[in-house]
Every structure is written in C-alpha cells, then in structure tokens.
C-alpha cells in the first residue's frame, strides 16, 4: 500500500538524504537540510512528504508554503523556492500517484493555498497537470577531464578564460566570515543593480552552516579586491552553483 505522509522530525533526515544519494537525477535542492534553512531564515512552514510502499521509501517531495503579495491574500506551495530544480523524486519506482495527489489536495485545503508548483527534473503526470517550461538548468559533464572540457568551449569562451588569467585574477575558496561577507557584498550589489531584492545575508550563512562540508564559496580577486564570487554545493557526483555574481565595472577582465 502506497502512503504519502508529511514528516517534520530530523529523525528522518538521514533516511531521506540516503534515498536521494542512491537516486538517479536527484537534486541537491531536495535534501532535507534545506528544511532548516527555510524555517530559521524565512520562517516558512515546510511540508516534507515521504512516499512509502510496504514501509520502504519509494519517493520524496519537499514543499514550502509561501505567502506572496503578488497573489493578493493567497499563498502557494512550492517544491523549494529560490532554486529552479526540485520536485518528486521516485528513483525509477512506479507508484500509484493517487495518495500523492490526495495528500497535495489536503495540504492545499489545510493551508489555504491557491496552487502547488512542483519544479520537476523528471516529468510527473505531465499529461494531466499544467506544465510550465520557463525555467532551465544547465549541466556540464566534467568526467571527461579538463582537456576535453576545454575543447568543448567556444573560441570566445576560451579567449575570455585566457584574458582572466593574463589579467592576474586570483581564485580563492573558503567559507568563513571573510568569504561570506565578501561574496554577499558583490551578490547584493549586483541584485540591486538588477532591481531584484537580494536575499538576506543570513540565508547564505544558514546554507553554509547547514550544508557544512558540502558547501563552499569561491572568490575572484583582482589586486586584492574581491570582484566576483559564487556559492557551491556538492551532492553525490554533482557540484551545483545556485548563486553567483561579479562587479560589472570589472567585466572587461572576464572574472566570471
């Protein structure tokens, strides 16, 4: 019998993350660690759904309740906000979707949500649910080595990399206060220039804290000044870059 139950205890964290680590096409954005980030930084209500069959995990679905002024007094449920890839992970298992749909329907009713947005990598009931295709995730296969990767770049990209090297840009990595503050200074400045509200700095701090050994920040420095940076999160055999920014006045040096 397939069940779809909301779990809130950290006791299932290890089991949840282990299922993801053994799953193909699983996203770092579905890890249980995000639950603490969203709750402690934004105060969001979270609903992490565990899909089981005969007491064995067959799938997971993280959901976060968002109240948005853009939809009036309403709210909506989303599978991981602020990141474009997360949703139902079944690891190839074929399960009856009815319990999942029933659970989602009950959550919508209980929360007063107007809709649920599931940011799927692998389609789920795409023939019956409304599908948007305006979010994208780009991946680069690093397994073939640096030489093959270099050959795959366009001449323009290779020239930009050479220019950055000749400009004397220094790359450093870490995750202490200096790295967080330096990255956030560049990131928030760029978001302001784009007329987009930057996430609070404690969001970056919480990601570094909750992902511990699986997170880091890379900074690009020119003559001692930080001119660019990116946040990296590792999961399984994938290194993801959810946030990055550079100072536009140094774009001629190609720090990105």
For 113-124, how does the pLDDT look when each residue is reduced to its tens digit (9 = 90+)?
888 888 876 665
18: in domain: yes
- Least confident segment among 119-123, 190-194, 203-207, 210-214: 119-123
Residue 217 forms part of a structural domain: yes
Residues 87 and 155 in one domain: no
**CATH classification at residue 41:** 3.40.630.30
Does residue 54 sit in the same domain as residue 6?
Answer: yes
Residue 192: pLDDT band (50, 70, 90) is very high
Could you list the residue range(s) of the whole structural domain that residue 219 is in? Answer: 146-253
Q: Is the domain of 75 the same as that of 35?
A: yes
Question: Between these two residues, 125 and 39, which has the higher pLDDT value?
Answer: 39
In a domain, 246, yes or no: yes
Domain count, the chain: 2
Beta strands in 105-250 (DSSP E): 113-117, 170-174, 215-222, 225-235, 238-246
Whether 208 and 153 share a structural domain: yes
Contact (Cβ atoms closer than 8 angstroms) between residue 254 and residue 161: yes
SS3 assignment, position 104: helix
How many Å apart are CA 152 and CA 206, to the nearest integer?
36
Residue where one domain finishes, among candidates 76, 96, 117: 117
Lowest mean pLDDT among 25-39, 64-78, 166-180, 241-255: 64-78
11 and 89, same domain (yes or no): yes
Look at the pTM and tell me if it is higher than 0.85.
yes
Count of CB atoms situated within 10 Å of the CB of 122: 16
């Amino acid at each position: 019998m397939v069940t779809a139950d909301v779990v809130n205890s950290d006791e299932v964290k290890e089991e949840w993350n282990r299922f993801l680590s053994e799953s193909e096409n699983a996203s770092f954005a579905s890890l249980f660690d995000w639950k603490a980030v969203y709750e402690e930084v934004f105060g969001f209500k979270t609903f992490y759904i565990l899909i089981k069959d005969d007491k064995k995990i067959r799938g997971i679905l993280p959901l976060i309740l968002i109240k948005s002024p853009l939809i009036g007094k309403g709210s909506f449920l989303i599978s991981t906000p602020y990141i474009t890839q997360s949703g139902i992970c079944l690891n190839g298992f074929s399960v009856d979707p009815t319990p999942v749909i029933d659970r989602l329907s009950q959550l919508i009713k209980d929360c007063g949500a107007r809709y649920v947005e599931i940011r799927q990598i692998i389609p789920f009931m795409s023939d019956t649910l409304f599908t948007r295709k305006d979010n994208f995730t780009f991946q680069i296969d690093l397994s073939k080595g640096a030489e093959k990767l270099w050959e795959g770049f366009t001449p323009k990209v290779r020239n930009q990399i050479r220019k950055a090297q000749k400009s004397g840009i220094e790359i450093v990595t870490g995750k202490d206060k200096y790295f967080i503050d330096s990255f956030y200074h560049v990131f928030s400045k760029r978001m302001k220039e784009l007329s987009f509200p930057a996430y609070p700095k404690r969001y970056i701090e919480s990601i570094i804290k909750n992902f511990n050994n699986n997170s880091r920040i890379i900074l690009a420095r020119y003559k001692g000044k930080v001119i660019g940076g990116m946040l990296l999160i590792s999961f399984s055999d994938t290194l993801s870059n959810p946030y990055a920014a550079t100072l536009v006045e140094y774009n001629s040096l190609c720090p990105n």
